[in-house]
Amino acid sequence: MDRPKATPLVALSVALALCTATAVEAEGLPAVDFEVLADARLSVVSGEQSWFDDWLGKLRYGGDRGGEGQGRFRLAELSLMARSDITWDLQAFVHAKFDPEQDKPADLVEAFLHYKPVPTSSVQYEARAGLLFPHISRENIGAAWTSPFTITPSAINSWVGEEIRALALEGKATLRLENQKLSLTAAVFGFNDPAGSLLAFRGWALGDYKTGAFSQVPLAPVPSIQPGGFLEDQPLWVHPVRELDGRPGFYASLDWDYAKRVKLGAFYYDNRGDPETFKHNQYAWDTRFWNVYAEVEAPAGIKIMSQFMTGNTMMGTLYDGMRMVDADFAAGYVMATRKLGQHRISLRRDWFDVDDNTFVSQDNNNEVGTAWTLAFNAKVGKKANLIAEFLHVDSNRPAREGIWRDAEQVQTQLQVSYRQRF
């Protein structure tokens, strides 16, 4: 399988960030704080194989080829994070990781500079520049872009971890009033043209995998992208962090916080991909979406969180006024979470769907599904957590029939994660 080469602009940006963040403490040079996150994982999963096994399973881990349950014990992730306060106002951050699914021994997740001067008025300004996650996820707020609520993020934030990463220049302004905070964020970005490939050809999934900047992820060998298929130029992989058409994208968000008890926000993303561009064995996808969220501190110490995402992705030349692939997508979740001393229990309900608008007889990307997740996060040390999680997902995807499976599949997963920070 051909591997995509690192593009010069990303390689240069990464090199600059790494040189900054790995500077040793010496005269005239900033100090660097390092943190390591290790995640040891025990999982037992029933149902179809994982999408990492070139299949259409909805979870990071899956059953065996016969659909029977399968247990695993492995190192799910080893992340290294480096932070350096270059000045009082400027910080460098680098996050690199290793995990068994990654097709590189080690890869970069994020590398950016964060400028945040001390506010001199009710308005505070800040900026980030580099390879980064846009602030979409309400779940992944822990070290190494992990979630303190569950092991497995929602379908929305699982996809963000897989495909939404950008080389961006982002600015943010925050107005602080009594008991209220209003923030406006805007950015221009590149290197995210293939985003949407996984949603179209695989559909939604639930997993805690974060695609590295130079890594690719697999696609199942459905007939449409096999030799002789409707889209045979599409390889059986996608490299999400890639610039193909030379057109910058943009995103913007508005967030409101009332007394840290009610939080509302809306985010819009448009990569402005040219759907007719095909370069480096990859299509550029024209992908746009809205993401809205709400968080409420309810009685009895319960926090209610919800996100909803809706958008469209398309690629390919026009045939009879239609793109080769044109799919609407939507997903949402509601989660209730409560602290129990130093521990936390969380219950989440997911739903997701993809509506295929073109050439369904040759390439059916329709999908609908739901999932339940229950997790208990126990703090077992100063920097250690033990998380137990139950996840059940039921999905219907007609494309499974092209690889000799029933369209509807059910998967149940039990996981225990031991996270240790150093």
Q: How many Å apart are CA 199 and CA 211, to the nearest integer?
A: 14
Element (H, E) at 21: helix 8-21
Report the chain's C-alpha Rg in angstroms.
21
408, 59 Cβ separation under 8 angstroms: no
pTM of this prediction? 0.93
The first and second tokens of residue 389, run together, are 């999680």
Q: How many Å apart are CA 333 and CA 288, to the nearest integer?
A: 20
pLDDT at position 20: 46
Element (H, E) at 419: strand 408-421
Amino acid at 96: A
List own/partner pairs for 120-125 with CB under 8 A and 24 or more apart. Answer: 122/175, 122/176, 122/177, 123/173, 123/174, 123/175, 123/176, 124/173, 124/174, 124/176, 125/171, 125/172, 125/173, 125/174
**224-254 residues labelled b (16+ CB within 10 A) or e (exposed):** bbeeebbbeebbebbbbbbbbbeebbebebe
pLDDT at position 120: 86
Q: How many Å apart are CA 51 and CA 49, to the nearest integer?
A: 7
The first and second tokens of residue 326, run together, are 């044109």
Q: How many Å apart are CA 196 and CA 287, to the nearest integer?
A: 6
82, 32 Cβ separation under 8 angstroms: yes
Q: How many Å apart are CA 282 and CA 284, to the nearest integer?
A: 7
pLDDT in tens, the chain (422 residues): 444 444 444 444 444 444 444 444 445 678 999 999 999 999 999 999 999 998 999 999 998 877 788 999 999 999 999 999 999 999 999 999 999 999 888 999 999 999 999 988 999 999 999 999 999 999 999 999 999 999 999 999 999 999 999 999 999 999 999 999 999 999 999 999 999 999 999 999 999 999 999 999 999 999 999 999 989 999 999 999 999 999 999 999 999 999 999 999 999 999 999 999 999 999 999 999 999 999 999 999 999 999 999 999 999 998 888 999 999 999 999 999 999 999 999 999 999 999 999 999 889 999 999 999 999 999 999 999 999 999 999 999 999 998 888 999 999 999 999 999 99
Question: What is each CA distance from 242 to 136, 225, 233, 249, 361, in whole angstroms?
Answer: 20, 20, 17, 13, 30
The first and second tokens of residue 104, run together, are 């590189």
332: nearest Cα among 344, 345, 347, 348: 348
List own/partner pairs for 9-12 with CB under 8 A and 24 or more apart. Answer: 9/167, 9/190, 9/191, 9/243, 10/131, 10/167, 10/191, 10/213, 10/214, 10/241, 10/243
- Specify the length of the chain in residues: 422
pLDDT at position 68: 80
Q: DSSP class of residue 140? A: -
